Amino acid sequence: MRRLCAMIAATLSVAGCAFCQGADWLTDGGNPQRTAWQKDEKIFNPENVRNMKLLWKIKLDNEPRQMHSLFPPLIINRVNTGAGPKQLLIEAGVSDNIYAIDAETGEVVWKKHFETGFTPPPNGGRGAGILCPGGQTATPVIGPSGTPGRYTIYAASWDGRLHQLNASDGEDIAPPAKFMPSNGKPYALNLWKNVLYTHTAQGCGGNPNVVYAYDLATGKVGTWGPAGGGMWGRSGPAISSSGVMYTGTGDGRWDPENGVFGNGIIGVKQDPATKALKLDDYYGPSNAEWLVKRDLDMQVTPAIFNYKGRELMVDAGKECRVYLMDTESIGGDDHRTPLYRTPLLCNEDVNFASAGIWGSMATWEDSKGTRWVLTPIWGPKHSAFKAPVEYGEVKDGAIVAFKVEEKSGKLQLTPAWVSRDMNRAEPPVIANGVVFAYGNGEDTDQAYPDVGLADVAERRIPGSTHAVLYALDAVTGKELWSSGDQIASWNHWTGLSVGNGHVYIGTYDSNLYCFGIKK
């Protein structure tokens, strides 16, 4: 009998039995702390990932808007559907679409399109453009309902309303509710203790750039801001164990004495009684004046992690440094002093586009207890930055890995490796010793030698090529696998999702690709 059970367990494990001990990816960045670490991955490993193949791809009927198309799909390991339990991907499209896709077959199980009565004005607010594409701009978030196999999808549509959908069939669990002004640009939703968090940027729709917190229990929405030019971390806000929501504040003046927090990092927390958001902490780099002068935004979603009993955070910006902070006091007594600040990793030319750190951070802990921090970089590596292990010249981007270490009683980020060159490296995901990363193939230039600033999709789309997905050894950075030319198109402002032996990536042409270990 025991041998029979062992055989069954082994069979199910080889078959990638997600139902048994499967992995979810319920939010952008994997978890509220935005570590991008798929801790529950049991199938991928550095050996078998070399055999990864394209398992399926599906073209969805989502219309791109400007350069936006599909968001990182969320993964629910086991959902009770009308056709039985399934592993579902919840894929959001910018044109107010939500798709539930069977993770094994790549077939659409259900689709929801948010009907809206919103009519955009001709030149409302910032008006239509790459920075303000309109449509659904926030990756949804999924919360358990309390019933096994039943999940609620929370999504914000173009008209600013909150939708709560049954993951089983896409039906509304509650009527769409007023949340934010329409035509704004919220970023990936986060869910913490029954409160949804997001923040907005670019002043889209004429809306101020603020933090939003939707209290699901009371239906009250708290706001805080503005803060600088906007909060546009790729994966939205990160939330600490004490419920403080952190984000970079983009571009703007740093003048905390007068309540202005541009080009820094803020932490806000909900007052549980009033539901108001209050400023809890803040950090402004000592060279904030320089950062705003050169448009070197603090615009990266931070990652929060435990390190030897302390809750630490890493963040970055276009200048191309990484900051290590303690959530007890992210900027120290003067709010200008993090635990550690790296030298410049890239952006030697001091450019506001096509260089620097964009998107989100990532962090994981290996089996030996070493804490790793990873960041994507765009453009050439800085000539003065060196890592012990590098894989050739970096011209267009790479993943840079650090170890968190203590030296002379102080914490620091010690360079570990720099990956191979990638065409605009994007935020990685770590799963069971493998770093999944990709170059998005996007033309990220915003200015030109003749006319200067001219950031329009008509110029950038023709210059974009195609994304390339990579699997790297998480300890050494060595390339283990590449998608080569298999991905036909590029993408903009999306990300990877990893779970149960699959990795997913969407492209501008609304194709969703699934690579994985073939059973």
Partner 1 sequence: MRTRILLYLCGLFPIGTVQAQFGRGGIDWMTAGSDAQRSSWIRNDPKISRESMQKPGFQFLWKVKLNNEPVQLNSLSPAILLDFYIGYRGFRSLAFVGGSSNNVFAIDTDLARIEWQRRLPSAASTHSGTPGCPGGMTANLARPTVSAFPMPGGRGGGRGGPAHSGVGSAGEGAVTIAAVSAIANLPAPPGRGTPPPNPGPRPSYIDAISSDGMFHHMYVSTGLEPTPPVPFLPPDANAQGLIVIDETAYVATDQNCGSSPSGIWALDILTGHVSTWQADAGVAGSSGAAFAPDGTVFAATRKGELVVLEPKTLKVKGSFTSDKEFTSSPVLFEHRGKLLIALATKDGQIQLFDTSDHPALVAKIAGIGDNFAPGALASWVGPDGTRWLLADNRGIAAWKVVGQDGTVALQPGWTSRELFSPLAPAIINGVVFAVSGGSPRSPAVLYAFDGTTGKELWNSGKTVTSFVHGGGVTAIGGQVYLGTYDGHLYAFGFPIEH
Give 60 or 288: the residue with its C-beta nearer to partner 1: 288
Quote the DSSP letter at residue 501.
T
Please give the full DSSP string across 435-487, using - where no structure is assigned: EEEEE-------EETTTEE---HHHHHHH----EEEEEETTT--EEEE-TT--
- What does the alpha-carbon distance between residue 265 and residue 269 come to, in Å, rounded to a whole number? 14
Tell me how far apart the terminal alpha carbons of the chain are, to the nearest angstrom: 26
Sequence-ordered list of residues with C-beta below 8 angstroms from that of 36, at least 6 positions apart, any chain: 29, 30, 235, 303, 360, 361, 362, 363, 374, 427, 428, 429, 430
| Nearest distance, CB of residue 384 and partner 1, angstroms | 14
Q: Given the rule CB under 8 A, which of 110-118, 397-405, 430-438, 451-459 is the region that contacts partner 1?
A: 451-459
* C-beta closer to partner 1: residue 220 or 403: 220
Amino acid at 254: W
Task: Give min distance, CB of 151 to partner 1, in A.
Answer: 24
One residue of 45, 145, 287, 482 binding partner 1 per CB under 8 A: 287
Region from 133-141, 396-404, 447-455, 475-483 binding partner 1, contact rule CB under 8 A: 447-455
String marking each residue 405-444 x if it binds partner 1 according to CB under 8 A: ----------------------------------------
Near partner 1 in 167-186, by CB under 8 A: 177-181
Q: Is 447 in the site for partner 1 (CB under 8 A)?
A: yes
Distances (CA, A) of 271 to 57, 162, 449, 475, 485: 45, 21, 50, 41, 50
Q: How far from 368 is each of 272, 364, 371, 380, CA to CA, in Å? A: 39, 11, 9, 32
Whichever of 247 and 363 has its CB closer to partner 1, that residue is: 247
Give the number of residues written for the chain.
Answer: 519
Residue 464: CB minimum distance to partner 1, A: 17
Q: Which stretch binds partner 1 (CB under 8 A): 74-82, 141-149, 269-277, 489-497?
A: 269-277
Min dist CB 441 to partner 1, Å, is: 20
Interface mask toward partner 1 for 26-65; x: CB under 8 A: ----------------------------------------
288 vs 303, beta carbon nearer partner 1? 288
Number of neighbours of residue 489 by Cβ within 10 angstroms: 17
CB of 64 to partner 1, least distance (A): 23
- Mark residues 189-228: x for contact with partner 1 by CB under 8 A, - for none: --------------x-xxxxxx-x-----xxxxxxxxxxx
- DSSP reduced 3-state for 297: coil
Q: Closest by alpha carbon to 380, among 402, 355, 405?
A: 355
CB of 292 to partner 1, least distance (A): 5
Residues of span 108-137 touching partner 1 by CB under 8 A: 121, 124
Per rule CB under 8 A, is residue 449 in the interface with partner 1?
Answer: yes
Closest CB to partner 1 among 220 and 478?
Answer: 220
Which residue number, 209 or 375, has a Cβ lying nearer to partner 1?
209
| CA 39/CA 430 separation, integer angstroms | 8
Q: Site for partner 1 (CB under 8 A): which residue of 3, 84, 388, 450?
A: 450
Cis peptide before 226 (omega within 30 of 0): yes
Positions in 334-363 near partner 1 (CB under 8 A): 349-353, 355
Q: How many CB atoms lie within 10 A of CB 39?
A: 13
Which residues ranging from 294 to 323 are in contact with partner 1 (CB under 8 A)?
294-295
Q: Which of 448, 463, 518, 519 binds partner 1 (CB under 8 A)?
A: 448
Between 41 and 297, CB nearer to partner 1: 297
Closest CA to 160 of 98, 212, 231, 228: 212
Number of chain positions touching partner 1 (CB under 8 A)? 67
| Alpha carbon distance 192, 349 (integer Å) | 40
**Half-sphere CA count of 394, side-chain side, radius 13 A:** 33
Cα separation, 437 vs 87, in Å, equals 23
DSSP 8-state code for residue 20 = H
Query: Please, what is the minimum distance in Å from the beta carbon of residue 379 to partner 1?
Result: 11
- List of residues contacting partner 1 (CB under 8 A): 121, 124, 160, 177-181, 203, 205-210, 212, 218-230, 251-253, 255, 258-262, 274-279, 286-287, 289-290, 292-295, 349-353, 355, 445, 447-454
